[in-house]
Amino acid sequence: MAWAVLIASGVLEAVWATALGASRGFRRKGPTAVFAVSMVVSMIGLSYAMTELPTGTAYAVWVGIGAVLTVVLAVARGQERLTVARAALLVLLVGCVVGLKAVG
């Protein structure tokens, strides 16, 4: 259960990071509201996951999921370019997250 909550919280990290960028410095109400709600729920989920998982592992997995999905969202929206090097590093990051789950 903790792993499922952690993964969902990582997804919400990408949501709040994307919404934060779209809020234009908290000047746009819609993205600001999405940012606030998704950040709170993401933190609650991370906190819950840390009751059953090692803190370092939980945090690394949460950040990894959020970072990869934030880049994927930016590329999908045409806001960033995906180079070969960047793609390789994202694959490596995903591999590290999977590895942490495997040994944790």
Q: Where are the alpha helices (DSSP H) in the chain?
A: 2-22, 29-49, 55-76, 84-103
Read off the pTM.
Answer: 0.87
Region 64-75 average pLDDT: 94
- Number of domains making up the chain: 1
More confident residue, 94 or 37: 37
**Residue 51 — φ and ψ, nearest 5°?**
-75, -20
Q: Is the pLDDT score of 8 beyond 80? A: yes
Structure confidence at residue 37 (pLDDT): 98
pLDDT confidence band for 100 (50 / 70 / 90): confident
Of 75, 1, 13, the residue nearest 43 (C-alpha)? 13
Residue indicated by tokens 């999977």: 98
Q: Is the pLDDT score of 98 beyond 90? A: no
**What's the pLDDT tens digit per position in 12-35?**
999 999 999 999 999 999 999 999
Here the tokens at position 34 are: 């999405």
Structure confidence at residue 104 (pLDDT): 65
Domain that holds residue 90: 2-103
Q: What is the mean pLDDT of the chain?
A: 94
Region 77-90 average pLDDT: 94
